[in-house]
A and B are shown apart, each in its own frame.
Chain A
């Protein structure tokens, strides 16, 4: 399961609301306690998708590399990725699945008319064929 601490959670929701009606994206840094991943810091990253961003996002690998370095410097780990779905539920779309990576937890925030509605977390497999839900608390 994954637990997001109040401060990073507030930052993620604020980022998603500020980006509305476009999608936002970012990295989640934290630690692991047994089977529980704990998100202690959210790092907003630029949506680098070249085109309409209301329904797409893309992370630059160089930005992810920088996020991983930042995590190591802060004695944390890069444990997940988040992005928003404006005016849509927090499901893991086929676009999300085909461009995913099995190494990280993927949190999706549903933003309805500019306000946070609900969120889910997913764990895609290595073949990018399915992404079961991961228990999420925030």
Chain B
């Protein structure tokens, strides 16, 4: 049994609830129970092979489960699970300047 905090954009799949408490003795069981109760959430979190999408990290309280026991990490009553995305990026590979508004002569 654990509480899962639902990120804002995913609340459309959880009847607008910002947190959900579901049964399960491990993180894997809790996530399975979550997506059983809210099937539309499954595609947001898992890929077609049933694995967590590459950008999804799961935190048990303040710890990434990858550094705990992954899916087998015990989830006790009072624990909180969070779904936290990996986000990065950058303009890599592209560099040019645009005309400055009001500037004469176009590209500088």
Contact = CB atoms under 8 A, between A and B. Distances in A.
Contact of A83 (B53, B84, B89, B93): B89
A42 interface: no
Given A113-B97, A126-B53, A93 B92 contact: yes
Interface residues of B, number: 32
Contact of A72 (B18, B43, B92, B94): B18
Contact of B90 (A72, A93, A112): A93
B88 A99 contact: yes
B85 A64 contact: yes
Contacts of A104: 9, 85, 87
Contacts, number: 121
A58 interface: yes
Interface stretch (B29-37, B57-65, B71-79): B57-65
Nearest to A88: B91
Interface size class of A (residues with CB under 8 A): 35 or more
A81 B10 CA distance: 16
B55 interface: yes
B87 A93 contact: no
Which of A79, A88, A94, A96 counts the most chain B CB atoms within 10 A?
Answer: A88
Interface string A9-40: 00000000000000100000000100000000
B77 to A, nearest CB: 21
A95 B95 contact: no
14 contacts: A32-B8, A55-B93, A59-B86, A61-B59, A64-B87, A68-B5, A68-B82, A72-B5, A79-B8, A87-B96, A93-B90, A95-B93, A106-B89, A110-B98
Interface of A: 23, 32, 49, 55-59, 61-62, 64-65, 68, 71-72, 77-79, 81, 83, 85-89, 91, 93-97, 99-104, 106, 110, 112-113, 117-118, 126, 128
Interface of B: 5, 7-10, 18, 43-44, 53, 55, 57, 59, 62, 64, 82, 84-98, 100-101
